[in-house]
Amino acid sequence: MESEKLLEIKNLHTAFKLQNEYFDAVDGVDLTLYKNEVLAIVGESGCGKSTIANSIVGLHNKNYTKVSGEIIYNDENLVEYSEKQLNEIRGKEIGFIFQDPLASLNPLQKIGIQIEESLIYHTDFDKEQRHERMLQLLDQVGIINPKRTANQFPHQLSGGMRQRVLIAIALSCKPEIIIADEPTTALDVTIQAQILDLLTELQNEINAGIILITHDLGVVAQTSNRVAVMYAGQIVECADTIELFKNPLHPYTRSLLQSVPQADSQEELHVIQGMVPSLKYLERQGCRFAPRIPWISESEHEKNPVLHEVSKDHFVRCTCWKNFHFKDDGGSKI
Ligand SMILES: Nc1ncnc2c1ncn2[C@@H]1O[C@H](COP(=O)(O)OP(=O)(O)OP(=O)(O)O)[C@@H](O)[C@H]1O
Ligand SMILES: [Mg+2]
């Protein structure tokens, strides 16, 4: 049986206005989120991960952002939603967790009130029910003394505790979808592991689908079921997590994996020099990764690269992967 689709993104383009001209930061992204899965979006800084997240829930400033394409949720296109319609689903059907909990929480308000606020907006609980649900949520995200924490201000909590509070807020209305944008980047490794475990545990309880945005392949491996690898506004590879780690094909994916040090490996690390080009200087034609692998000849790239399904549910953009080899590995082909 095919799993249930929660969200279907089709040909998404999100462009920012820079000196009177619009440039696509997200350029033709197709992506589906299924019920019960953790879908990771991974890629270097600036490749467009957060832009996708913000497009889903209409968090961009409309004065200088254009979003087109389809983001289908419950048979409706969120791209066409008004601010009022978006407000109805934000925080209720779609919850978010962002990188910096301190920036997402109101510094002047006690934790308990901030959690209850979301309940005031989206539920018809009375005061007592809200208070009870708030304490229950704090307990659910592993806070030992919910009553005490509810009475504290954000600055009185540690980073990990604050992130737990944000997860409690995101879960407060039992959303169908959770978007977690670099939820553990600001935390140290042990706390990061605890928060990721908590996220997946709670996700199993409420059967939500999670879009997990990260640049950390360790987080991908630990948490996700499926991965979309992004480069310069486009998805270059998408596959099940196990398949992607076992059989990475796109040169960019391979370079991401090769640049992660393995404790038990004597192998040399391969690093592909360069960085994601900025929006203005992005080559709009051809394979966007080509400038970073100049030793692969032009004829090996497609003129208009698309995602090909190379094996079941494994998609790769451009044909250049077929002849790709790392520059310094003796030219061995894959
Ligand atoms: N509000 C904005 N105005 C103009 N350009 C923007 C805006 N937000 C993002 N961009 C540009 O869009 C591109 C994608 O940015 P985005 O924040 O989505 O990247 P990201 O993959 O989330 O990176 P990071 O890992 O650093 O969070 C970048 O070139 C960025 O400079
Ligand atoms: Mg980001």
Q: Determine the distance separating the centroid of ligand 1 and the alpha carbon of 303, expressed in angstroms.
A: 26
Average pLDDT over residues 83-112: 90
pLDDT (0 to 100) of residue 54: 94
Closest residue by CA, ligand 1 atom 4: 16
Q: Which of 51, 60, 216, 219 to mutate to test the pocket of ligand 1 (most atoms within 8 A of CB)?
A: 51
- With a Cβ cut-off of 6 Å, ligand 1 is lined by 16, 25, 43, 45-51, 215, 278-279
- Lowest mean pLDDT, pick from 4-8, 41-45, 142-146, 330-334: 330-334
Condensed to tens digits (0 to 9), the pLDDT of residues 20-42 reads 899 999 999 999 999 999 999 99
- Ligand 2 centroid–CA 73 distance in Å is 23
| Atom number, ligand 1, closest to the C-alpha of residue 213 | 22
Domain boundary assignment for the chain: 5-224, 231-323
What is the 71 CA–ligand 2 centroid distance (Å)?
A: 19
Dist. CA 125–CA 146, nearest whole Å:
19
With beta carbons less than 8 A apart as the criterion, state whether 122 and 92 touch. Answer: yes
Question: What's the token pair of residue 317?
Answer: 């953009």
Phi first, then psi: give them for residue 202, nearest 5 degrees: -70, -35
Q: Determine contact, residues 216/288, Cβ cutoff 8 Å.
A: no
Whether residue 251 has pLDDT greater than 70: yes
Residue 307, pLDDT above cutoff 50: yes
Q: What is the CA(196)–ligand 2 centre distance, in A?
A: 18
In this prediction, residues 138-163 reach a mean pLDDT of: 93
Quickly state the pLDDT bin for 100 (edges 50, 70, 90). confident
Q: How confident is the model at residue 333 (pLDDT cuts 50, 70, 90)?
A: very low
Atom of ligand 1 nearest to the CA of 17: 4
- Which long-range contacts does 76-83 make (Cβ < 8 Å, 24+ apart)? 79/12, 79/55, 83/58
> How far is C-alpha 267 from the chain's CA centre?
30
Q: Which ligand 1 atom is the nearest neighbour of the CA of 60?
A: 1
Residue bearing the CA closest to ligand 1, atom 12: 25
The alpha carbon of 206 and the centre of ligand 2 are apart by a number of angstroms equal to 26
pLDDT in tens, 182-230: 988 878 888 888 888 888 888 888 889 999 999 889 899 989 999 999 9
At residue 271, does pLDDT exceed 90?
A: no
What is the model's pLDDT at position 334?
42
Residue 270 has pLDDT above 80, yes or no: no
- Tell whether the model's pLDDT for residue 2 goes beyond 70: no
Atom of ligand 1 nearest to the CA of 278: 29
Higher pLDDT, 208 or 269: 208
What is the per-residue pLDDT for 328? 64
DSSP 90: B
Residue with CA nearest ligand 1 atom 30: 46
Q: Domain 5-224: give its CATH code.
A: 3.40.50.300
Percent of the chain with pLDDT over 90: 63
Structure tokens at 21: 């001209």
What's the predicted TM-score (pTM) here?
Answer: 0.92
CA of 46 relative to ligand 2 center, distance in Å: 7
Res 99 pLDDT > 90: no
The pLDDT of residue 1 is 47
Rg of the chain over CA atoms, in angstroms? 21
C-alpha 238: how far from chain center: 13
Distance CA 249, CA 279 (A): 25
Nearest alpha-carbon partner for 228 in 37, 15, 2, 25: 37
Give residue 132's pLDDT band: very low, low, confident or very high (50, 70, 90).
very high
- Summarised one tens digit per residue, pLDDT across range 163-185 is 999 999 998 888 999 999 998 88
| DSSP-assigned letters across all residues of 106-131 | -TTS-HHHHHHHHHHHH----HHHHH
DSSP run (H or E) holding 167: helix 159-171
| Average pLDDT of span 288-293 | 90
Query: Cα separation of 165 and 177, whole Å?
Result: 18
For ligand 1, the distance from its centroid to the CA atom of residue 118, given in whole angstroms, is 28
Tokens of 328: 């310094």
Instruction: Output the residue whose Cα is nearest ligand 1's atom 19.
Output: 46
Q: Are 276 and 232 in contact (CB under 8 A)?
A: yes
Q: Which helix (H) or strand (E) holds 177?
A: strand 177-181
User: How would you write 4-70 as a 3-class SS string?
Assistant: CEEEEEEEEEEEEEECCEEEEEEEEEEEEEECCCEEEEECCCCCCHHHHHHHHCCCCCCCCEEEEEE
